[in-house]
């Protein structure tokens, strides 16, 4: 089992994704500030993983507050939650987890400060455990869309490394089909500028003994035209109420290409990734990141001239009419998504 996030002895341990696949190393975080930095710098990434990590960060903050005054405790706790909230604006699981931790703290207001901290620790552990279970259910639900012999194209990394661990979202579907005995193989877009496909998806698939072929992002259309791709499966960082889905930059063009070549394009995400407060994807905030991610390879080798203007959005939004289905832990939603997603939210 790939362990993305762990809680051990009152500390958060994160596999350092920026160092994969060459170095498998874990980062120890003993303060919520360290957790916030890890999220912001993409030591940990992927919407579900960010949510789980933020929950542990909130628990760490509560444990570190030194006061006997409950009002002061809540004031400092809210400050910590604000810091964690400011790390990544697009991934809605971040805000979902933080609000869940805030609600836990308020719900236990009658307890002592020490007991509130213990309750927050247990809530974070529960979020972690639930994420593992949800991802396995998503994988099993989505495995049915893959036929024996299918080749699935992925973009970015939506595997165990994007979640608490083990299954993942989009790659969880592929893993579940593989474990069910289906002969499934994967084409992985490299996914510039952070190369999550090249570094992480390829690494995960090789760990799982699932055949994987790495391609550059601009090869996807050629592979589709040649009949080399049967399905496209991606994850999401935020899905609007109408089914529009934000995912790693480059996903939209993959969806357009899939539509052109009549290849089904699926999104896989837990219900916590669906932002029912947003009517459409036009309202999803899109994070813009450091230009150096584009001008340099992994922050090291410079590949562009000094001073060049850079536009570096981390995500784009795929309109719902390009999506064949949205795979969740409660089943697969199909168009019209506003109705089908709401039905799954209500219990399936």
Instruction: Return contacts of 29-36, CB within 8 angstroms, 24+ apart.
Output: 29/57, 29/60, 30/60, 31/60, 31/61, 31/64, 32/57, 32/58, 32/60, 32/61, 32/64, 32/80, 32/83, 32/84, 33/83, 35/60, 35/84, 36/83, 36/84, 36/86, 36/87
Nearby residues of 219 by Cβ (< 8 Å), 6 or more positions away:
none
Is residue 184 within 8 A of residue 72, CB to CB? The reply is: no
- 144 conformational bin, left if phi > 0, alpha if psi -120 to 50, beta if neither: alpha
Whether 237 is catalytic is yes
In the three-class reduction of DSSP (H, G, I as helix; E, B as strand; rest coil), residue 135 is classed as helix
Q: Which of 229, 226, 221, 144 is nearest to 187 (CA)?
A: 229
DSSP string, 55-115: HHHHHHHHHH---S-HHHHHHHHHHHHHHHHTS-SS-HHHHHHHHHHHHHHHHTTTS-HHH
Query: Which residue out of 237, 244, 259, 275 is catalytically annotated?
Result: 237
Nearby residues of 138 by Cβ (< 8 Å), 6 or more positions away:
167, 169, 172, 173, 268, 269, 270, 327, 328, 329
Buried b / exposed e along 219-254 (16+ C-beta atoms within 10 A)? ebbebbeeeebbbbbbbbbbbbbbbbbbbbbbbbbb
Q: Which residues are catalytic?
A: 237
């Amino acid at each position: 089992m790939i362990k993305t996030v762990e809680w051990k002895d009152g500390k958060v341990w994160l596999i350092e994704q920026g160092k994969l696949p060459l170095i498998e190393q874990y980062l120890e975080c003993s303060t919520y500030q360290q957790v916030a930095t890890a999220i912001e710098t993409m030591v940990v990434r992927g919407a579900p993983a960010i949510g789980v990590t933020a929950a542990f960060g909130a628990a760490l903050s509560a444990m570190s507050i030194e006061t006997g005054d409950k009002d002061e405790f809540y004031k400092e706790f809210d400050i910590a939650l604000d810091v964690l909230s400011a790390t990544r604006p697009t991934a809605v699981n971040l805000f979902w987890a933080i609000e869940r931790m805030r609600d836990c703290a308020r719900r236990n207001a009658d307890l002592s400060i020490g007991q509130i901290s213990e309750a927050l620790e247990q809530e974070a552990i529960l979020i972690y455990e639930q994420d593992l279970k949800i991802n396995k259910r998503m994988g099993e639900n989505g495995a049915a869309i893959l036929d024996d012999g299918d080749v699935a194209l992925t973009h970015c990394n939506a595997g165990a490394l994007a979640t608490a661990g083990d299954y993942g979202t989009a790659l969880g579907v592929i893993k579940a089909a593989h474990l069910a005995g289906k002969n499934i193989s994967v084409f992985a877009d490299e996914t510039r500028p952070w190369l999550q496909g090249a570094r992480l998806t390829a690494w995960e698939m090789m760990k799982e003994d699932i055949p994987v072929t790495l391609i550059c992002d601009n090869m996807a259309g050629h592979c589709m035209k040649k009949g080399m791709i049967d399905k496209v499966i991606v994850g999401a960082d935020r899905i609007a109420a109408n089914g529009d889905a934000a995912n790693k930059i480059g996903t939209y063009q993959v969806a357009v290409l899939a539509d052109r070549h009549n290849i089904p394009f699926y999104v896989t995400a837990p219900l916590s990734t669906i932002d029912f407060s947003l009517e459409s994807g036009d309202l999803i905030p899109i994070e813009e990141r450091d230009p150096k991610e584009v001008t340099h390879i992994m922050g090291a080798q410079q590949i562009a001239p000094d001073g060049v203007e850079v536009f570096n959005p981390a995500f784009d939004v795929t309109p719902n009419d390009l999506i064949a289905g949205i795979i969740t832990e409660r089943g697969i939603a199909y168009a019209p998504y506003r109705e089908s997603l709401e039905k799954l939210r209500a219990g399936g």
